[in-house]
Amino acid sequence: MNKISHRAYFALILACVLLLGAVAFTGRYFAQADQWVGHSGNMHIYDNSGNLDVNLSIRDRDGTMLYSTQDGRTFADDSETRKAVLHLTGDRNGNIPSILLDEYGGDLIGYNKLTGLHGTVAQEGDEILTVSAEVQRAALSALGDYAGAVGVYNYKTGEILCAVSTPTFDPDNVPEIEGNPAYEGVYVNRFLQSTYTPGSIFKLVTTVAAIEQLPDWDSRTWTCEGSCKIGNDTVYCHGYHGTVTMEEALAHSCNVAYAQIAAELGEDVLKQYVSQLGICDRLSFDGYRTRAGSFTLEDSPDFDVGWAGIGQHDDLINPCQYMTFMGAIANGGEAASPYLVKQVTSNDKTTYQAKTTMLEETINARTARKLRDMMRNNVQTMYGAITLDLPVCAKSGTAEVSADGSVTNATFAGFIDDEDYPLAFVVVVENGGSGSETAAPIANTVLWECIDVLDAE
């Protein structure tokens, strides 16, 4: 009998599984119940025809109504605003989900995890975003017919002022999308949910590694004769830069110099910095999870390493994540985590208030300062398109996305080094040609608008 009764403890394993599972579920309940409750099938908050009993609205930072659940779904008053914020509000058919509303569904209706929906359902729920409708419209107009993304955020607080993705459409006047190449991938939020070949803006990552790993980096020079051999392949430059310092190489975006620097640093060092700076990581905020980037070197030949170090090879970055890298350089090595939702109120009672948190990935403050100076030099010497009377620091890129180099994405990323306008930005223009020619003017326009908006506040 002794033996048998000892064996009986086997039956306890299952009872423990039951209890542990119950605990796990309870944990999940406290983490997610406010999202579950907002499900559109919930008849406690939706009426029989699928309309909310509660009136929920999304507003921009100035209070402009962008989306409301009144009378089914109501969008902003003018078509340009509707188009400019479409990827944040979602469309009428759910092809673009309303993630920001779903994420804060519980807060909007005044839901509380302890007492449930019992007697607490609100009449009005307002979600105030950090974006500005004016900036959104300016960015949309600056992008014109190009597909791409523009993002601007305050690297000290984390507020995203601009998050535009094109192509877009007017949800109140839906065009023929199926089969129309102009609307390819229109349902994707390119700023948050897509990745791009970065091109030369990635040289900033290589520069961070070089500043920290090459002891004599600021006294060394590299020679560019239009091309150079690395391993058995040839890297071509877009010009003939002669003998250059690293600062000059960055300003001229010299591929020959940077491919040599990258090859010298080697695969392991580059990978370590990509991981340390979080370049390919995902960001999670307000219900969004940004798409992960990629940096895939695995015992690769030096040519590939060099090519990857200048933002080609298989490199992919997410625009929003890269924007926070700019923020980190700007803010002395540490950037705020970006967010889109500033405040949620339910029946005029605040149920959610965004808080500034800092991202874990940091850059050494000295490195950040050096890099800032180099990026400032870029703007002063190379980017005439930037007309702002503020210390803008930036890097452009022209990312080859077709094998023959005929299709290029224009990229431009940087920040304003100013206490009153602490803004980091990223611009990606698909098939846009040169970064400094196409993307830089867009950044310039959007930043002007941002400064107007901040001045007005």
Partner 1 sequence: MYLLQTLQEFGRFLRDSEWLVNACCTVLRFVFPVLALWILVRCISSLLRFRKEPEIWGWLTLPDGTLLPVTHWENLIGRANSCDIVVDYPTLSKSHAVLTRYDDGSWSISDIGGRGGVAVNGKSESFCAINFGDVISLGGVEMSLEPVTQEDREEGYLERTKAGRRVRPAPTLLLLTLFQLLTAFELGLNIDLQGVGTVLLDFAALIALEWLLFFGLKALRRSGYEIETMAFFLITIGFATISSGNPGLLTKQLICVVIGIVIYLILGWLLRDLERAKKFRYVAAVGGIGLLLATIVFGTEIYGAKNWIFIGGFSIQPSELAKLCFIFVGASTMDRIVTKRNLISFIAYSAVVCLLLALMSDFGTALVFFTAFLVIAFLRSGSFAAVSLIVTATGFAGSLLLSVKPYIKRRFEAWGHAWDYAQTSGYQQVCAMMCIASGGLFGLGLGNGWLKYVAASDTDLVFAFVSEEWGLLVALMMVVCIAAIAFFVVRSASVARSSFYTIGACAAATILVVQTILNVFGTVDLLPLTGVTFPFVSNGGSSMLASWGLLAFIKAADTRQNASFAVRLSREGEEIHE
User: Rule CB under 8 A: which residues touch partner 1?
Assistant: 1-12, 14-15, 17-19, 21-22, 24-26, 28-29, 32-34, 36-37, 39, 41-44, 106, 111-119
Residue 11 CB, nearest approach to partner 1 (Å): 5
What is the CA 39 to chain-centroid distance, rounded? 27
Task: Report the b/e string of 171-194 with b at 16+ CB within 10 A.
Answer: beeeeeeeeeeebeebbbbbbbbb
- The residue with tokens 């507003």 is 59
Please say which residue, 95 or 381, places its beta carbon nearer to partner 1. Answer: 95
By C-beta, is 94 or 226 nearer to partner 1?
A: 94
Nearest to 108 by CA among 89, 124, 128, 91: 124
Q: Where do the H-state alpha helices sit in 144-285?
A: 190-193, 203-213, 246-252, 255-276
Minimum gap (Å) between residue 10 Cβ and partner 1:
5
| Spatial distance between the Cα atoms of 329 and 335, rounded to a whole number of angstroms | 8
Please say which residue, 34 or 134, places its beta carbon nearer to partner 1. 34
- Residue closest to 106 by CA, chosen among 50, 31, 47, 158: 31
Token digits of residue 56: 């929920």
- Report the nearest approach of partner 1 to the CB of residue 176 (Å): 26
Contact 168, 87 (CB under 8 A): yes
Buried/exposed 353-362: b ≥16 CB within 10 Å, e otherwise: ebeeeebebb
Residue 17 or 182: which CB sits closer to partner 1?
Answer: 17
CA–CA gap between residue 256 and residue 235 (Å, rounded) = 6
Nearer to partner 1, 114 or 456 (CB): 114
Smallest distance from partner 1 to CB 34, Å:
7
If the CB atoms of residues 22 and 390 are measured against partner 1, the closer one turns out to be: 22
Residue 342 CB, shortest distance to partner 1, in Å, is 25
Shortest distance, position 40 Cβ to partner 1, whole Å:
9
Whose Cβ is closer to partner 1: residue 92's or residue 113's? 113
Instruction: State the nearest-atom distance from the C-beta of 292 to partner 1, in Å.
Output: 19
